[in-house]
Structure 1
Amino acid sequence: MVDAQHPPETYQLPEATDSGGVAKGERASHRLRRYCPACFAQETWGQPAVEGPDVIVCADGNRQLRRFRGGIESVPVYSPEIFMSRESVDAVGQEMARKRASQPANRMPARLSAEALDRCKKSFKVADEDAALVNEKLFDPTGVVVLLCRHDIPLLACDIMTPGEQQKYVVAMLLELLKELPKAATVGLLYDIGCQLDHSCRMYDYLGEDFPRFIMGCSVLHAYGHEWACQVAYNPRRRDGFGLSDGEGSERVWSRTRREIPILRRADKSRRVMALDRKFRHCGETMKENLGRWFNQKLKLLAVHRHRADRLIQDSGMTEKELAEQHQLQVEQPQSGRSDSVKVIEGKIGIYKRLQSEMLRVESIIQDAQASISQLHGRTAGRAAFEGLHQCHAELMKKGEELFVELRIEQAFPEFRGVSSAFLHFLVLARQEKMNIRERVIGHMWELARLHRARGGGREPLGKRWAGWPRGTNLMLS
């Protein structure tokens, strides 16, 4: 049974190190080598994470594998190999809470601005640890979190005991994984909200001295729901070290466990853990037997990706060095000094928008009034009054230009150098409208995802009949 209080035995051979600093002679635990020899049977460890970590894993949570409260509890007679005990996970959570309360924040420089992180947190409900995704009074546990290797083989799992998917579950599994790896091993993690977890580890030092051994990114399919700055920094296709790993192996495991959803909904805790543990082990054994086929398919896809990449580089008219420099500029841009003043600048832009609207309204009123009086009484009528109105409008224009200069747009946003204040006004309005449309599209996609998700039922545990109903309805409406 995996337990933080009883760590697995250490597997070490006489230590040796090559000229590049890579440790030799150390081995992973027997359990990991038995689960996935392709990942853990290697003899050399310590590859730099940015050049390609020794091991790449992914984590994901599933709220469908929850259990109703109540019922008869049987005596546990099964010792799980994959599931972590609740006590070990709670111990990690308490240690994380202690670090948040005792240690100052911002111990390490952040890769993203606070604005981008806040928007990513709003886009994904999982990122909000306090969000009540499942009724805690009705379900216990409220879901399952699993950790897999890049070959979709489950390595560790734990129950979710809180309404929200807190970071302690993934951190607990990562710390447990390190106990079964050599001290020099490096790990790459792909997680739906890898940006939030990486930021928290940098702020509160959750992983301690082992943090430099990790490199984190977002799963491929979830990365496009993040902010652009987050995609540049955490998309595995844009970050060195992850290769073509997608981090979506958990989705393939969840599809194989969908039959257990209605069966385990009312099972007691010990039998539920036994069933899921054996199911995860069976999925791992199946994937291990098909590793040869997996490598063959990936090798063919690698040739296709390389051919497409070479063709795109040729069509761009730029060299690989120039493209690498441009990509590095994109990565460094969210870390520039302007990110710290984005909220302040947006506040000033809001004031400028209101002032610009007032100036346009005054100008329109003056023109309409002058045109009406000129038609009735001639052009000379009301000249003094109109001169006063024009002076008032000129003062407003002057104040607007002063505020526009105070914004220091050219320093904060070099790409806006030479842009007029009037154009900036409409540009800000277009940006706000774009953000509103994006939020509505994300909300619509989440609604469709809920409809497309297979639901458990008494007669139809797979939900096949109703799974296709939203797609058919959309086609009919379109």
Structure 2
Amino acid sequence: MFLAYSFTRWYGKRYRKDGRTWKRRVRAADENWSSLMDAMTDAYLVWKHSTTQSPPSSHPDYNFYISTIDLYTLETTAHILRDQNTEPNVALVHAGYLGNSPLNPSLAISLQTLNLFYTLRLFKASLSVEAFAKTLCHLYKTPYRRGYRSALSDAFDIYLAILRKVDGRVSQELGHDGPDYRVKNACPACCYELEDEPQLEIQRMWVVDGNNSLKRIKGISGREIADTRVFSSDYYLSQEFVDQYANEVKARAQDHDDIGAEDVGDDDQDGIDVNNEGDPTDGGEDEVDPVLAKLLNTCAEKWKASARDELKKMWAVFKECGIFASACRHGFILWIVDMIESGELAKYPLAMVAKALEVFGDQWILGYDIGCCFIRTIVASSLGPKFQEKKCRTCVNAFHGYTHNIICQQHNHPLSIPGMGLEDLETLERVFSSSNQLASITRYMNAYRRRVFIDVYFRQWDREKYQNLARTIHNNYVQALDIIEDDDEAVQTMLKELQLTEKDLETYFEDEVNHFRDLGTELEEDVHAVAYVALKDSLGVS
């Protein structure tokens, strides 16, 4: 009886027991925040940009004191002015603070402090909310408690929502809020065309690839996470859009047979793709050229073997097993998709190809580490007719391409494709090398916050790419001039010494392609010659 009484009392105050589930409480808080967002955004703009801030109207009965966290002043309380028509959080934003709850905040964090955390995270993505909360506690000389981290995390969510609201208003005012506006205008070098610009053999180059570092742990025993908010932005393709291409390709039976019960335990079976969805190499088995089909199948088999090794590690503990991303040749992010409880399925790159066919023009090339096989999947899908009509194609990345057989390289390696120039199409390897620092803090987040932090990271990535774009293009131009001026002279000298022409080089390349294409097959005259010699030996004729 004493324990029950003590739990219902705290410092002499009686509290009503909240019988709502955590999910209902989170949903109610989100709805309450949403109703305040427009007014809070207005107050934020006044606080941040108004040079002549007049004191807000107030009434003594509605003014209040609140505990505060401010890294710049280390103040512990603030006196907030408001009247009967102003919500507490709107008044807090006017004063430069943001509360920890929508209706009755008990703690306020200064907007300057939240902005500092936001800025630090732009340039150090692995900085966690907990680490920053402990930093604040250290400066305030107070013991760290988990409640401070929760308050900072909740307030930071709303601060980011306000920033997105401001960006949305600016985009709307500038007319930049149309469908796919960001993708159509993100990279000036890819998107803008000069007057009388000569027609290029390849109009646009872009790349796709999967990354499994940004996994997220699933709820314990399959329990649903209480925070069911869904974050969406112009970076993410919706799950509904992606699932339109879920049945375009069926998995081949041997793919599942290769992962037997000896490889995974009973509890791990749920983490394996057993839904009969195919991967990017499963489409288009029928080939006009059986020799080429056999060679491409060897590329697919190697990729599948590598994918299966990783799949065995995808225990049922993960909900999102990583991201599948696309970027232009200059590194600007195009689209992102979460790989939900699966490996690299065909529907992810197919969805991005569908968006590219919708947004981009004709004659683009897609770089993918298994691009040699993926083109068969595209042609065999519902996207095939439009893909061929637009004269698009795929290829392999330069670094990954060297692991493919020689025939594949001669057809699909960037060095063998006219118009590719100096591009290696390994853009996403550099992107993922940097974005992997997010893995340490997003692994245990809920789905909403994980997406928010990934979105913040890639927006900053694109800002830095835009800032350095002129230097990148200049360096590439200087490199191209050096190659033309230095290497061209060496090539011409060697051709002269060998008494060859540039046409001979093209002929040699074609001969090499034909040589490796026929390697391992016997010519008809050779078969007859061998049979003749064998017959002479059997008759004892010398």
TM (normalized to structure 2)? Answer: 0.52
Q: Deviations over 1:379-416 (max 9, x none)?
A: xxxxxxxxxxxxxxxxxxxxxxxxxxxxxx234989xx
Q: Which residue of 1 aligns with 2:337?
A: 158
1:111, 1:82 → 2: CA distance? Answer: 40
- The one of 35, 42, 48 equivalent to 2:186 is 35
Q: Deviations over 1:83-118 (max 9, x none)?
A: 111221111122445999xxx956774596233122
Q: Deviations over 1:262-312 (max 9, x none)?
A: 100111111111211221121111101111100111012112333325524
Q: Which residue of 2 aligns with 1:241?
A: 419
2:196, 2:202 → 1: CA distance? Answer: 9
On the 8 A contact 2:414/2:420 being kept in 1, the answer is yes
Q: Which residue of 1 aligns with 2:240?
A: 87
**Is 1:302 the counterpart of 2:480 in the alignment?**
yes
**Is 1:173 the counterpart of 2:173 in the alignment?**
no
**Structure 1 residue 30: Cα displacement:** 2.5
Instruction: Name the SS for the 2:213 alignment partner.
Output: coil
Q: Which residue of 2 aligns with 1:121?
A: 300
- Give the number of the structure with larger relative contact order, counting CA–CA contacts within 8 Å between residues 6 or more apart: 1
2:419, 2:290 → 1: CA distance? Answer: 16
**Structure 1 residue 222: Cα displacement:** 0.3
Structure 2 counterparts to residues 377-456 of structure 1, below 5 A: 409-411=522-524
1:134, 1:208 → 2: CA distance? Answer: 37
Flag the 1:113–1:120 CA change in 2: closer, same or farther, 3 A: same
**Is 1:268 the counterpart of 2:450 in the alignment?**
no
**Is 1:196 the counterpart of 2:309 in the alignment?**
no
- The one of 324, 328, 338 equivalent to 2:506 is 324
TM (normalized to structure 1)? Answer: 0.58
- The one of 216, 222, 226 equivalent to 2:400 is 222
Flag the 1:165–1:43 CA change in 2: closer, same or farther, 3 A: same
Equivalent residue pairs, number: 319
Letter paired with 1:265: R
Letter paired with 1:87: E
1:276, 1:45 → 2: CA distance? Answer: 40
Flag the 1:128–1:198 CA change in 2: closer, same or farther, 3 A: farther
On the 8 A contact 2:237/2:337 being kept in 1, the answer is yes
Q: Deviations over 1:329-362 (max 9, x none)?
A: 444566x6x58xx6xx6xxxxxxxxxxxxxxxxx
Q: Deviations over 1:173-200 (max 9, x none)?
A: 111122223xx43211111111110132
Flag the 1:61–1:298 CA change in 2: closer, same or farther, 3 A: same
316-325 or 131-140, which moves further after superposition? Answer: 131-140
Instruction: Name the SS for the 1:188 alignment partner.
Output: strand
Flag the 1:276–1:202 CA change in 2: closer, same or farther, 3 A: same
Instruction: Name the SS for the 2:367 alignment partner.
Output: strand
On the 8 A contact 2:248/2:347 being kept in 1, the answer is no
Q: Which residue of 1 aligns with 2:314?
A: 135
RMSD of Structure 2 on Structure 1 (CA): 3.8
Which ranges in structure 1 are unaligned for 5 or more consecutive residues? Answer: 1-26, 346-408, 423-478
Letter paired with 1:91: Q
Q: Deviations over 1:32-73 (max 9, x none)?
A: 24311211122689998xx53211001111111111111634
Q: Which residue of 1 aligns with 2:456?
A: 278
Q: Which residue of 2 aligns with 1:59?
A: 208
Which ranges in structure 2 are unaligned for 5 or more consecutive residues? Answer: 1-177, 252-276, 535-542
Normalized per residue, the structure richer in helix is 1
**Structure 1 residue 208: Cα displacement:** 2.7
Percent identity between matched residues is 24
1:177, 1:157 → 2: CA distance? Answer: 13
Q: Deviations over 1:423-478 (max 9, x none)?
A: xxxxxxxxxxxxxxxxxxxxxxxxxxxxxxxxxxxxxxxxxxxxxxxxxxxxxxxx
Letter paired with 1:243: G
Flag the 1:271–1:310 CA change in 2: closer, same or farther, 3 A: farther
1:413, 1:189 → 2: CA distance? Answer: 41
On the 8 A contact 2:230/2:447 being kept in 1, the answer is no
Flag the 1:186–1:130 CA change in 2: closer, same or farther, 3 A: farther
Letter paired with 2:334: L
On the 8 A contact 2:332/2:465 being kept in 1, the answer is yes
